[in-house]
Structure 1
Amino acid sequence: MRRLKFNLSYTTALAAISLTIFASCEKYVDIKTQGQLTPGTIENYRYLLNNTNAFEAAPSISDMAADDLEIIDGSAQQKGLVSSDYYGYYSRAYQWSDVIYPIENMYHKDDAWGALYNTIAYANTVINEVPSVTDGSDLEKAELMAEAKIHRAAAYLMLVNTYAKPYQQATAGTDLGVPLLLSPSTEQPLVRVSVQTVYDAILKDIQEATPLLPNEQQYTTLPSKAAAYGLLARTYLYMSSYSEAAAAADQALALNSTLIDLTALDQLTASNYPKRVFNQEILLSKVPVNGVSAYTPTAFRLSSDLIKLFGEHDQRYNLFTVNGDIISSWDVYEGRYYYLDYVMNEGRNVGPTVPEMLLIKAESEARNNKPAAAMALVNQLRARRILSKGTVNLSASDANDALLKVVAERRREFMFRMLRWWDMRRLKDDALFQKTYTRTFAGKTVSLAPNSNRYVFPIAQYEINLSPEIVQNP
């Protein structure tokens, strides 16, 4: 039996800080090398937690599977993808394939799986070693451990929503989750625990960490109380615990309710829109591993279904998307493409945000038969997104209509932010949203039915070969 080989003592972890663990365009904090630190002191762990490369990772294949994306069969984009071995995971995720990372392929490793478990390994190092440092107050130690617990909880929430079934209270106790590693031990079997066990661990980490965190942080990459409440709200939403989700969202908004006024912008530039690390709408920054790249075929083309949701006065469409000829210097692409990360020259955030908190509250109100209250929250967001000559305020005829409009607003607000796939998963059995999706790629037509196993991504065979105790998804 192959065991996990993540032993990150402070010496090993700090040595890794000076290396590029994951590809990143920018460093937002000054990371000192091991030679400038004193082993066994609290400063080591502060610098470790400041290493954004180690803690910002998120999966990317969720966006490729979601219905926000459309690749026109026979287009330059589709032909570019089908001929690319390196980006094979993109087209396979788009087709909801049984295998995303073929073992016989040169690119057979799932970088997101590895990156998220590395985040967990670093977090475990902080949580388990900080109590033994030779300096630092009890409060300083507690704050560092709290930050690490939030990062660990966020990583597990992304893992369980990528490689396990959606949370269902009736079956969560038996549905396979993901391996749960809570210590930096050298050897641990990667046995998959239940979905319920994973969620219990996530909630425990968040609830233990929240009281010990500062109200705000200098950078969005560092967990704060608002970040913790935001992560808690997201967790409860995906457990269908709507009242608890709304309560947590309220607590996050009490600490940070900042919305960027997109209606004040004529165009999007790197100088008039905040960098991710300083963006006050973001409660906790997380960035997809191997997301959109400079290679044009991997750009996200908006599906016709998504485009229909936008009006001409919606600044999210006007500012964050562009015509295809702008995104390609070597071929003219038709259609409309997501553009925010290109303009900002940085990865897109998929972590909790202020808009997400408003829409979580709105969904809870709709499900609680309060359509007017739900629409008031939606309209609070739309006032900063829709130009005054457009339809800013929406109304709902009843609770179901409100719920439909809340979910549509989520789709507009979070396009290519990973959340659409998660919404498709959690809503697939709801009669209001249930549908079968169909796509054609390289002449092959594929479908995704509500009862399909392909709502759960397969685990890379490479990982199973290393650790045969990992049970593959059906």
Structure 2
Amino acid sequence: MLLAISILFGCQKDFLDIKSDKKLVVPTNLKDLQSLLDNTERMNILMPYLTEISADDYYVRADRYQSLSSLTMKSAYVWAKDFVYQNNSSSDWDWRYEQVFLANLALEGLDKIERNSNNAKDWNNIKGSALFYRSWAFYQLSQLFCKPYDSTTANTDLGIPLKRESDINEKVFRATVKETYEQMLNDLSEAIDLLPTVSNPKTRPSKAAAHAFLARLHLLMGNYANAAEHAAASITLADKLMNFNDLDATANYPVPQFNDEVIFHSSMLGALILRENRLIVDSVLFDSYQADDLRKKIFFYYDGENRYKGSYDGTRELFTGLASDEVYLILAECYARLGMTGNAIELMTTLLENRYAKGTDLSLGTLNQEQLLYNIIAERRKELVFRGLRWTDLRRLNKETAFKVTLKRELNGVQYELLPNENSYVLPIPPNIIAINGIEQNER
């Protein structure tokens, strides 16, 4: 059994009850299957928080750290070699495999429903959505529990269990990193032809979202031409950018939920250590915003310390979905890496004109290819702050000498460091999963 907690937690009881013979009541019509995927608690929110806790865009005071009751959060914050999971389990693991379960259940339900001219639109949307959601869950897991993609070792590096059936008693094993990414790419490639161009509500997947997600995955794999192709396709379908000159910087949460830039909505499980009154924005990051950069007041506020308030969730919860600003940055980075500097400058100018005060001289045209790439990477950190992406970027960029970073924290005079490419960039599999399945543990 893959999960150590009830796989049915949070599912809708009208068609997911347990019969007296212990067999699952499987949804049998398209309406029920769509309802299964509209379980936003599992499909869109409560996304993993350990990546953000481990990243370097913030720090907490020692007393705040000591007051945490969660041993998991404490371990993630200091990149502990002897990582401790509260109760030997992890919601970041369990809930994502619940998402995989629900997606697989929907796909299996579709196999029993004939697609015809009357139901084709709904049938296609359900299948495309289920494939997208399964890939989304695999992605979240891969950024925590397996090494970053490296073309020279991906065929032997340990990935995650790739559940493609809803049978929770199925014997599982760890695929390779290569197989893990191939599964995500295959699911998304199939989903694109099935999904609507854009979605309403934005908690549902779309073609624009699938292209954006594929662009992100190819960027992580270093496939810059493919990433550019999918990023361009996503922008063609969903290219809107908010003009930050029009936002109210004095609002508690200036960025609206489901705003024009959001392509696919997803948010992070609330973690006490990441609450806005606890986290303190890294001073180097905060100082990197220029005075006329509107993000400095849209994203942050000061109450004696610099705090974060700029979530695209429109609340204190952290946005982890897909948005057009990220896609612009992906395309610009790929263009810069491919030597298409003019195209990259055009994209960055468009994005930054919507982020800086009107009339600001951006002067990007004077940058050479190397300088432009540095600029884009720097802007990526400033734009996508607290979206669950910094940890992923550290993992991929640490493979390049020019972008390697050593992370440092201090608590009560004790120094903690995380060196580039260290094993601690991969979290251990929760002990209860190892005990149940016997799969191989990650090295720390």
Which piece of structure 1 moves more, 309-318 or 165-174? 309-318
In structure 2, the CA distance between the partners of 1:284 and 1:5, relative to structure 1 (3 Å rule), is: same
Q: 1:239 to 1:270 in 2, by over 3 A?
A: same
**What is the Cα deviation at residue 8 of structure 1?**
7.1
User: Which residue does 2:408 correspond to in 1?
Assistant: 438
Give 2:188's aligned residue: 206
Does the CA-based 8 Å contact 1:7-1:184 persist in structure 2? no
Deviates more, 1:235-244 or 1:437-446: 437-446
- Give the Å deviation of 1:396: 4.9
C-alpha displacement of 1:380? 0.8
**Residue from 144, 147, 156 that aligns with 1:165:** 147
**Residue 61 of structure 1, aligned match among 22, 44, 50:** 50
Aligned length: 434
Cross-structure match for 1:259: 241
- Residue 40 (structure 2) aligns with: 52
2:30 paired residue number:
42
Alignment of 1:353-372 (within 5 A): 353-372=323-342
> Matches of residues 295-444 of structure 1 in structure 2 within 5 Å?
299-323=278-302, 325=303, 334-341=304-311, 344-345=314-315, 347-388=317-358, 390-444=360-414
Displacement, 1:148? 0.7
Matched, 1:123 2:112: no
- Report the Cα offset of residue 456 of structure 1: 1.2
For 1:447, what is the secondary structure of its paired residue?
Answer: strand
State which of 108, 114, 133 in structure 2 corresponds to 1:151.
133
| Partner Cα distance (2:144, 2:135) in 1 | 14
Q: Distance in 2 between matches of 1:406 and 1:264?
A: 24
The 1:388–1:39 alpha-carbon spacing in structure 2 relative to 1, beyond 3 Å, is: closer
Is this contact kept in 2: 1:270–1:344, CA < 8 A?
A: no
How high is the sequence identity, in percent, across the aligned residues?
27
Name which of 255, 259, 268 aligns with 1:288: 268
Q: Evaluate the alpha carbon distance shift between residue 45 and residue 8 of structure 1 in structure 2; reply closer, same or farther with a 3 A threshold.
A: farther
Q: 1:113 aligns with which of 82, 93, 103?
A: 93
Q: Is the 8 A contact 1:125 1:184 kept in 2?
A: yes
Query: In the alignment, does 2:432 pair up with 1:462?
Result: yes
Kindly indicate whether residue 82 of structure 2 is the aligned counterpart of residue 94 of structure 1: no
Tell me, what secondary structure is at the counterpart of 1:344?
coil
- Specify the code of the residue in structure 1 equivalent to 2:93: W
Residues 328-386 of structure 1: per-residue CA shift (max 9 Å, x gap)? xxxxxx42111135993352221221011111111111111233322221111111111
In the TM superposition, what is the alpha-carbon distance from 1:391 to its structure 2 partner? 4.2
Instruction: Output the amino acid matched with 1:82.
Output: Q
Instruction: Give, in whole Å, the separation in 2 of the partners of 1:161 and 1:447.
Output: 20
Unaligned regions of 5+ residues in structure 2, if any?
18-24
RMSD: 2.8
The match for 2:230 among 244, 248, 262 is: 248
Matches of 1:261 and 1:348, distance apart in 2:
21
Answer yes or no: is 1:80 the counterpart of 2:64: yes
Rounded Cα–Cα distance in structure 2 between residues aligned with 1:95 and 1:396: 40
Aligned ranges 1:26-41 → 2 under 5 Å: 40-41=28-29
1:293: Cα distance to partner? 7.3
Partner amino acid, structure 1, of 2:436 = L
What residue in structure 2 maps to residue 26 of structure 1?
Answer: none
Instruction: Name the structure 1 match of 2:21.
Output: none
Distance 1:292 1:425 in 2: 24
Q: 1:371 to 1:70 in 2, by over 3 A?
A: farther
Alpha carbons 1:131, 1:141 under 8 Å: kept? no
Which amino acid letter does the alignment assign opposite residue 351 of structure 2? L
Distance 1:139 1:344 in 2: 31
Instruction: Using structure 1 for the length normalisation, give the TM-score.
Output: 0.84
Aligned to 1:313, what secondary structure does the other structure show? coil
**Aligned-residue offset at 1:157:** 1.3
Equivalent residue for 1:132, pick from 112, 115, 118: 112
1:6/1:187 CA distance change after superposition, 3 Å:
farther
> Is the 2:341–2:369 contact (alpha carbons within 8 Å) kept by the matching residues of 1?
yes
Name the counterpart of 2:20: none
Is the 1:41–1:134 contact (alpha carbons within 8 Å) kept by the matching residues of 2?
A: no
Structure-1 separation of matches of 2:332 and 2:172: 39
Aligned-pair CA distance for 1:402 = 0.9
Match of 2:164 among 179, 182, 185: 182
CA contact (8 A) 1:6 1:184 kept: no
Q: Distance in 2 between matches of 1:250 and 1:342?
A: 22
User: Unaligned stretches of 5+ in structure 1?
Assistant: 20-36, 72-76, 326-333
Amino acid at match of 2:135: A
Distance 1:349 1:111 in 2: 18
Deviation of residue 432 (structure 1)?
A: 1.2
Kept after mapping to 2: 8 A contact 1:259/1:384: yes
Q: Secondary structure at the match of 2:416?
A: strand
C-alpha separation in 2, matches of 1:435 and 1:192 = 29
